[in-house]
Chain A
Amino acid sequence: MCRLFAVTSDTPLSPMKALEALDAMREGHDGSGVGLFMRDLGGPFAAIKGAPILSGIFTDAGLKKLDTLMMDIGFMTKYRMGIQLPETPPAGTPPRDIYLIRAYDYPRTWENLAEEEKHRRLLKVRLQLREMGEAEGDMIVFSFWPDVIMIKEIGDPLTVGRYMDLDRHGITARIIMAQGRQNTNYAINLYACHPFFLEGFATMTNGENTAFIPVKEFLESRGFDGYIGFQSDSEVFVHILHYISTFLDLPLDAYKHIITPLPDEALNSHADASVLRILKQSCRRLIIDGPNCIIGNLPDGTLFMAQDSKKLRPGIVGGKPGVWAFSSEVCGLDTVIPDRDKSKDFQPMHLDMAMVGPDRKEVKVCRQTDRLSRQA
């Protein structure tokens, strides 16, 4: 199994906090890898919110290729975070030349473009870089998006965090998602490492999506170039979230209805039965299966947790106004928010989705039996 931890906080936190939470849950993962997603950044990035940040791992040669390409397009480096590494990496972690976190100024020629078009192009650049790095393995790109940083590496989460000395580099964020991974896929590919990111949406999952192939085939045939990769059966969760939000313009609570629709009987007595039936039928190929606890983040900062239709994986939400955490296990919550009211901790069940909005006032729970928040 994997272990998940996510936190959303009014005051920016160090990612090491999240890694400590993962460490508290280490009996649940084998420490074979770690993934970090950070949004709404503090520290040096607080002042450059609009600038797209490229996160990835590069060799020296890869970096040269990157610079040439970025220069060609017209991107100018705005801020670069150099991560200094000790001589030898910890056991299990391969030596890397550069962990890249670099903010850019948009090319001049993009200045008058609509936000949406800029974002489209950022995706194109990220995909291009990813493709360029595929052959030699000299560029691995996780995200290229304003106010978002991602780090992924092989090895024990806390050890990797200390090795990169994340605290010293002053990276902080108001939203952090972290995954400690169980390597079930043997072939170690960082692209298979959660969290996954696409155009502002991010998800990570503890579980196994047994409906992977039909879901993948459906997404691939939507004609959208961002639905690629599929190194992990969990990557489709972010694609589905992206699809229903951007293509279908559905609210977040519809996500749960898409991936685990209500059984027919419950559906028939639902107040939104007609639209839900249409969604169940037309999005049938997006129904997931198997045990899955999903934690995700929307472009507006909303953090959520959803469970599979049988609730086969652990997951708990707790906190206090201003700071809330979503965790696989309660010990993760205890590590980061020990002073919360534990009697208010909530474990989403098979029909539930728990979310904390950008205001961080409360945990909102939508149950699939409730009405949809917004009509489709």
Chain B
Amino acid sequence: MSANGQIIPSSLSISDLPWQIRWDQDKCTLCGSCTAVCPVNAIELGVFRKREITAGLGLAEKPSSSQSIRYGIRQRTSPAYACVGCAMCSMVCPNDAISPVRNDGSDKLRYHINQGGQPRSRGGRRNDPSGLLDQIKFIRISMLTDPALDAGRHTFDVNTLLGRVLEPRDALKHQREHGWMPPVREIYPLVIGGMSFGALSPTMWEGLQMGVAYLNEEMGMPVRICTGEGGCPPRLLRSRFLKYVILQIASGYFGWDEIIHAIPEMKEDPCAIEIKYGQGAKPGDGGLLMWHKVNRLIAAIRGVPERVSLPSPPTHQTQYSIEESVAKMIQSMSMAWGFRVPVYPKISATSTSLAVLNNLTRNPYAAGLAIDGEDGGTGAAYNVSMNHMGHPIASNLRDCYLNLVKVGKQNEIPLFAGGGVGKNGNLAANAAALIMMGASGVQTGKYIMQAAAGCLGSEQDRCNICNIGLCPKGIASQDPRIYRRLDAEKVAERVVDLYLAFDMELRKILAPLGRSTSLPIGMSDALGINDYHAAERLGIRYVV
């Protein structure tokens, strides 16, 4: 701080910040790459002055004083410019002269980030790296009682169903009498969860879509991707690739004008329609696209003016009760596509999930239920919602599944679980655990961003600035100067990589369990955990 600086309550020192910049004068060539790339302008050119007194030993030489100036990098400390730890500066530095370091004490920034009375909002997910899913082990290994299966050699049928499956007697009756059969899609059990065009950059979206198309058409994997709330580019709506896409409608209905108008011109039906009622990252809160990201293209697709923030209401405003909200929406959406497309709601995991599920079991058009747990990600939400609101996915999913088992409808309404799947990189293990607890499939978004596009976000509050349009990786930005950094082709390649790797890992889990003929939905006898109460709660084995 300069000599005439003033200390105010929110004056912070570098030590008070969560991320501190280490900069090495010896290595730095002052190229300026780091300051140019920093998304939040946390670093700037610093001018450091030094005065040196030289006093000789003898009397002949008089002490002298000299001034020198050196240039370097200075970290800014005001809350608006606090470093977010993205490490883009390290990435671009040609001499490895700079890097962010996490403050090992507790920072003071958290008390001052609410400048102007605005609580902190951000992207990412709950800042808590722990997770129950990672503790679950697969313990029922068939060895001598079975010839073990070979993950590399045997065939594995792991596809799952999305859509209302009729009870066997009804199914046969409908078939005999040529009655209406609810549409059912056979899909890969790992679905790319809803991330909107708008939240994601055009290059990211394009890369994901290309990757999904490649997986379907070249690898024979029926992978599906959900649009999130934000509509769908018109060309995709009118292309044959639409069948790989789950269109999401949420409380803001963004983009649905365009979609409805495109229906007569659609070559293919979409895979399904997801009605979003809630999101695990911010339960009870609507979607939010900040004005930074609403450029001409986004505004056109969503059917809104440019550069205005787009909050979706917390609930679907036109409807008042769960009966209306769910039944009517499902019915209207089904009707729009002539009852040929599965329509299902997505809710945030909550202690009231069972009520929604029970309602769905009585609705013959409900094609499934997606449940998003507290560890789900988002492009923009209040920090408090992300960190403190919501229900863990494991017990919520398990309760729902066991409830279906109780009423005998476990095969009829598929449950899709999301929220923190692959949070610590263990995508296949987390997905398999959820499937064996009763999920028909899982949805994941954050893992895809991390693995396919190099998203830097973490649960230790790294980066997470997806909301302000400055995503340093070009994933969640609408600024062409930024999203040019992301090569759509490369994203597509990574999507394919990660799916193939997931598939192999899934088989590596299923083979020792002796499962290959069908996806082991509800195979809870395979699971164990070394936490007694969790085991009791989930109805799986307690192992120590």
Contact = CB atoms under 8 A, between A and B. Distances in A.
B157 interface: yes
Interface residues of A, number: 37
Interface stretch (A74-82, A91-99, A211-219): A211-219
B410 A218 contact: yes
Contact of A208 (B142, B161, B176): B142
A97 B166 CA distance: 50
Contacts of B522: 213-214, 217, 285
A291 interface: yes
Interface string A118-136: 0000000000000000000
A376 B173 CA distance: 9
The majority secondary structure among interface residues of chain B is: loop
A283 B410 CA distance: 11
Given A275-B175, A291-B146, 15 more contacts: A210-B146, A211-B517, A214-B522, A221-B406, A221-B407, A223-B408, A261-B517, A279-B172, A282-B165, A282-B172, A283-B168, A285-B411, A289-B520, A310-B149, A310-B154
Contacts of B406: 221
Contacts of B146: 208, 210, 290-291, 312
Contacts of A274: 175
Given A211-B515, A214-B522, A289-B514, A282 B157 contact: no
Contact of A281 (B145, B161, B408): B161
Given A208-B146, A222-B408, A278-B171, A288 B517 contact: yes
A223 B522 CA distance: 19
A86 interface: no
A279 B168 contact: yes
Interface residues of B, number: 42
Contact of A214 (B155, B171, B186, B520): B520
A247 B169 contact: yes
B414 to A, nearest CB: 10
Given A221-B405, A312-B147, A289 B517 contact: yes
A97 B408 CA distance: 41
B428 to A, nearest CB: 19
Contact of A210 (B142, B157, B167, B184): B142
B181 interface: yes
Interface string A183-201: 0100000000000000000
25 contacts: A208-B514, A210-B514, A210-B515, A211-B517, A213-B524, A213-B525, A214-B522, A218-B410, A221-B408, A247-B168, A248-B172, A263-B157, A264-B186, A281-B165, A281-B171, A282-B166, A282-B167, A282-B170, A283-B411, A285-B521, A287-B517, A288-B517, A289-B517, A290-B142, A308-B517
A350 B521 CA distance: 23
A260 interface: yes
Contacts of B142: 208, 210, 290
A263 B159 CA distance: 10
A213 B523 contact: yes
Interface centre among B168, B171, B172 (most CB of A within 10 A): B168
Interface in A256-312: 260-261, 263-264, 274-275, 278-279, 281-285, 287-291, 308-310, 312
A212 B436 CA distance: 12
Interface of A: 184, 208, 210-214, 217-218, 221-223, 247-248, 260-261, 263-264, 274-275, 278-279, 281-285, 287-291, 308-310, 312, 376
B239 interface: no
Contacts of A218: 408, 410-411
Interface in B502-540: 513-518, 520-525
A217 B405 CA distance: 7
A282 B155 contact: no
Contacts of A283: 168, 411
CB-based closest 8 A-B pairs? A221-B408, A210-B514, A282-B171, A287-B518, A290-B514, A282-B168, A214-B522, A289-B517
A60 B330 CA distance: 63
A275 B175 CA distance: 7
A252 B169 CA distance: 17
A211 B155 contact: no
A208 B161 CA distance: 26
A283 B411 CA distance: 8
Contacts of B517: 211, 260-261, 287-289, 308-309
Given A278-B175, A281-B165, A376-B175, A211 B159 contact: no
A213 B513 CA distance: 13
Interface in B168-191: 168-172, 175-176, 181, 184, 186
Contacts of B170: 282
A211 B524 CA distance: 10
Interface string B129-172: 00000000000101001110100001101010100011111111
Contacts of A212: 525
Interface in B485-516: 513-516
Interface string B28-43: 0000000000000000
Given A208-B145, A248-B172, A290-B514, A221 B410 contact: yes
Contacts of B166: 278, 282
A285 B186 contact: no
A291 B520 contact: no
Interface centre among A208, A222, A281 (most CB of B within 10 A): A281
A289 B140 CA distance: 14
A309 B156 CA distance: 11
Contacts of A247: 168-169
Contacts of A208: 142, 145-146, 514
Contacts of B515: 210-211, 289-290
Contacts of A279: 168, 171-172
Nearest to B168: A282
Contacts of A184: 145
Contacts of A217: 405, 410, 522
B432 to A, nearest CB: 14
B525 A211 contact: no
A290 B406 CA distance: 26
A278 B184 CA distance: 10
B145 A284 contact: no
Interface centre among B159, B169, B522 (most CB of A within 10 A): B522
A291 B147 contact: yes
A210 B408 contact: no
Contacts of A214: 410, 520-523
Nearest to A258: B168
Nearest to A287: B518
Contacts of B521: 214, 285
B377 to A, nearest CB: 30
Contacts of A308: 517
A310 B171 contact: no
B191 to A, nearest CB: 18
B163 to A, nearest CB: 9
Given A208-B146, A287-B517, A312-B147, A278 B405 contact: no
Given A248-B169, A282-B165, A289 B518 contact: yes
A209 to B, nearest CB: 9
A208 B515 CA distance: 11
Given A213-B523, A263-B155, A281 B184 contact: yes
B168 A248 contact: yes
Interface in B411-437: 411
A281 B172 CA distance: 11
Contacts of B167: 282
B520 to A, nearest CB: 7
A208 B149 CA distance: 13
A212 B517 CA distance: 13
Given A210-B146, A248-B169, A282 B513 contact: no
Nearest to A290: B514
Interface centre among A223, A279, A285, A312 (most CB of B within 10 A): A285
Nearest to B518: A287
Nearest to A283: B168
A284 B518 contact: yes
Nearest to A284: B411
